[in-house]
Amino acid sequence: MSNATKSAIPSTIPSYLNADNLGPWGNYLQQVDRVVPYLGNLAKWSDTLRRPKRILVVDVPIHLDNGEIAHFEGYRVQHNTSRGPGKGGVRFHQDVTLSEVMALSAWMSIKNAAVNVPFGGAKGGIRVNPKLLSNGELERMTRRYTSEIGIIIGPTKDIPAPDVNTNEQIMAWMMDTYSMNEGSTATGVVTGKPIDLGGSKGRRDATGRGVFTVGNEAAKRIGLDIHGARIAVQGFGNVGGVAGRLFAEAGAKVVAVQDHGGTVYQASGLDVPALLKHVAATGSVAGFANAEILADHLFWEVDCDILIPAALESQITIANASKIKAKMVIEGANGPTTPDADDILQERGVLVLPDVIANAGGVTVSYFEWVQDFSSFFWDEAEINMRLVKIMTDALAGIWDVATEHNVSLRTATFIVACKRILHARELRGLYP
């Protein structure tokens, strides 16, 4: 390639981001860079992975209960749709940024390809603290946001789902808004809906069940007995709470739990059912009886066998990675470990089950929900769970083989598997026009 040709090729860093501080998107780009040497002839398509297909930034104005008008910034990013329609959640959080949503959409591309469901990657969000809104304000914001992004979503284009601070009710409002604008009921436009509106049984527990499934399979492979294993969980909602419950039911001891309210610890094992009831009633682990209160920074130093970060991204960093005592980290959250911290854990021999496979249970059952909506034929929960376990077990086995073959981490192996599938689809489809 001539120097003139090289200079004509634009940078892979989008002009609308700060090149000196790319945030979560920068973490994702580092992960892509690490996998390119393993892509063979498909490497020529690798910039496809570094550039989101479509980014929509929208203004979301609503009437507040006091009569004032408030404006919120919303996003919907479609990273890649070579393998199928975009798929990914919507989060309502005061710290949402475009970099974060871009990275989350890209990780959805990897995640969907890793478990081989026919979706691309997408993600959405609104920069808002939903706890400061009334239920009416929350509904109006959700509906306005849905109308604004309605030009790019749809059952065969891009299918949102719940994420941080969104739930079945939010999805019901989104589905209804889209359907009213289209003039016909479109249950398949979102997943994670109430069962009475076309939702799937097993969806609520799916991500946590997936975390448990891959964790249990990996434990067998490294000779770690789950019965009696000590577990520490960050985040105790639909992901961490479900995973903690399933590990406890399998005989493990959940010794520490941290959420936004604080950290509770019990060396002999916390009463998980009681803790789940407490969190459901109060919204946090704070104030839970029969537990020791730990300073939040000490959570990362808890003596445990398995650590499950199931809250937000960038929780395990170079500041705490060297203090972690766990033999295995199962990433229930998206992007909880920075690349530098990932290297430290690998050097120390800590097995990391990356988010792009460990928390793929949610999108797998979302795929089941989408299929059921199209056919109007619904499966029972036992069948849902059976299909979920098989898909995730098979996916982990294939990724483990790739990791062994190339002597790389499970994260790199997952990216190798997923990126090859995405780029092979891109190559087969070609460029149009």
Active-site amino acid positions: 123
Per the CB < 8 A criterion, the answer to whether 306 and 247 are in contact is yes
CA atoms within 13 A on the CB side of 229: 28
Q: Can you give the length of the chain in residues?
A: 433
List of residues 6+ apart from 208 with CB closer than 8 A: 238, 239, 240, 241, 242, 243, 244, 245, 246, 310, 332, 361
Per the CB < 8 A criterion, the answer to whether 232 and 316 are in contact is no
What's the CA gap between 206 and 142, in Å, rounded?
24
CA distances from 119 to 8, 79, 86, 87, 112 (A): 33, 11, 6, 6, 6
Per the CB < 8 A criterion, the answer to whether 142 and 174 are in contact is yes
* Among 368, 394, 395, residue whose Cα is nearest residue 382: 368
What's the CA gap between 363 and 359, in Å, rounded?
8
Per the CB < 8 A criterion, the answer to whether 360 and 115 are in contact is yes
